[in-house]
Structure 1
Amino acid sequence: MQLVILDRDGVINEDSDDYIKSPQEWHPVPGSIEAIAKLCQAGFTVAVATNQSGVGRGYYSLATLDAMHAKMRGLVEKAGGQIACIRFCPHTPDENCECRKPKPGLVRQIEKALNCDAKGAWFVGDTAKDMQVAQSCGCQPVLVKTGKGQRTLGKGLNLDGIRVVNNLLEFADFLTQD
């Protein structure tokens, strides 16, 4: 299995410092839906690992989060792709859970759900936490400049071993080129 793990906010959909709190506020980053479809059509299995502390903060319910994910899945399926697995952390940072990135819990949940090893998989994110979990789980980290990516680059992140791309579609083009 060729696995690609994607962060959600800032990679697949537009991000907001005020949180994405409803399906109506959930808008794909231009090209991201096509990128996921392209990866799937090239034989990659796509999973999503996302921190969603807005649930724990009471900004939106699990039902609303499910509706956002249903919208995302629907758009991807309409484009000819499929998201094999979505795992999320609903906890706030102060709960110190094992599933909140940069801890490896979400990646471990994906491995269990898909019966695979994430070592060597691609992990695409827009924050230092995404890069940290990718590296700690033996994944190949990719930083997109969308979402918080530009801000992350401006913070002096050590880019050794990290591929930097403009957006998810550029990454999909790279991965699927002959």
Structure 2
Amino acid sequence: MKTAAAAIAAVLLSAAFGLGACAPVVTGGPPLALPAALIDTARAGSITVSSDWLRSEDDFTDTFSDELRQELARCAVGTYPLDVRVHLDRLHRNGRLDVLLTGEGMHTLSGLVEFVDPARGGRVVGRYPVSVGVQAGGRVAGLLGDRQMMVSEAFGRDLCTQAFGRNPRGPAVTRATPG
């Protein structure tokens, strides 16, 4: 009974503080480049996200998944579906007040991404560590900007560059962050 009460208290406490954690969905291991044949033929299938304890908004996983899917749709343009598993281990967003006062700040996100081939029994066919940092964008952007979207877009763009050798974003008007 004590254990159940402690578990319920932990869940309620984590919900109250906007924290979330779950067991990693990745198997882990050294980086593994996608086979050359998949670079031009792959597209993103399902996206599954897990994380360490991250301080984030309630909608972070949705925002992250949406941004990652948008980036991958621009660089993984083939027809062969690969599932994408992501484990995020670090998220830092500069506080809005700090950025407003100093005009500076950096948002960072890191994790491990695995591309999994469901047609081959869930075999991992690509694995990439991703770590990105995005400038807060000055006082106004730091105060009003969507920090989660900015760092998630940069994460997806870096993954595209590593896995598929191409930046999915063209002119600056199509992206929220430089690069």
Q: Which has the larger radius of gyration?
A: 2
Per residue, is there more strand in 1 or in 2? Answer: 2
State the TM-score, normalizing by the size of structure 2: 0.27
Specify which structure has the bigger relative contact order, considering alpha-carbon pairs within 8 angstroms and separated by 6 or more residues: 1
State the TM-score, normalizing by the size of structure 1: 0.28
